[in-house]
Amino acid sequence: MKNNTITEQLTAAGQKIEHSSFEIVDNEVGSHNYTQAQWAIVRRMIHATADFEFNGLAHFHPQAITAGLQAIQQGANIVADVEMICVGLSKPRLSHFGVTTHHFIADEDVITQAKAENTTRAVQAMRKAKTLHLLEGSIIAIGNAPTALLEIIRLIKENGIKPALIVGMPVGFVSAAESKAETELLENIPWIVTHGRKGGSTLVVSAIHALLALAEAG
């Protein structure tokens, strides 16, 4: 396995801090039941939040890592529920693989349609992504809106869309836990989720950065 360069911090000082942080997480986490690749993702999630409860709260479809790495190596689209995810992802790391991010939550047509149909902007944003043919073979990145995740599940079941991977980690009290529990019932679409109410865009970004690092390591 080669040393990473693209997915590392840009300075030696930054690299030292990040690597030291990972070592601290490894030393303090205790036991876990993740594979080496899964742990690389969970560890980065813990690093991003200082919350060791994600050791156990992070759940993986059996094919999630393989599907995610393949999608990245093929330059898949990332469709996010909110702009925060797209801003948080490293553009140089994405461009190395030819990966492009998309979000539509603030588009005027999305807002207009949400008002007209009395739905959320997140729902309409996912529908717009489908209309633009961006969901097939993509990585769906949801860290804020449970309704976006539920809409993706509906589109999978009713319209047969086939994203490469769902990173479903919406945070909150209304439908957040339920949307992730429903995602875990998907058998043919790989997913990575956080069980229960905890989640957030920061976790989605950290999970995708970990996948990018795994993809570079080969």
| Active site positions, annotated | 47
Q: Give the CA distances from residue 167 to residues 30, 31, 170, in Å, rounded to whole numbers and listed in that order.
A: 25, 24, 9
Among left, alpha and beta (phi > 0; psi -120 to 50; other), residue 67 is alpha
Q: Give the CA distances from residue 218 to residues 20, 70, 211, 215, in Å, rounded to whole numbers and listed in that order.
A: 23, 11, 11, 5
Is residue 207 within 8 Å of residue 34, measured between CB atoms? no
Helices then strands, counting H and E runs in the chain, come out as 11, 6
Report the candidate in 85, 12, 1 with the shortest Cα–Cα distance to residue 37: 1
The bridge status of strand 165-168 relative to strand 139-142 is: parallel
**Angle at which helices 12-28 and 36-49 pack, to 10 degrees?**
110
- In one-letter notation, the amino acid at residue 140 is I
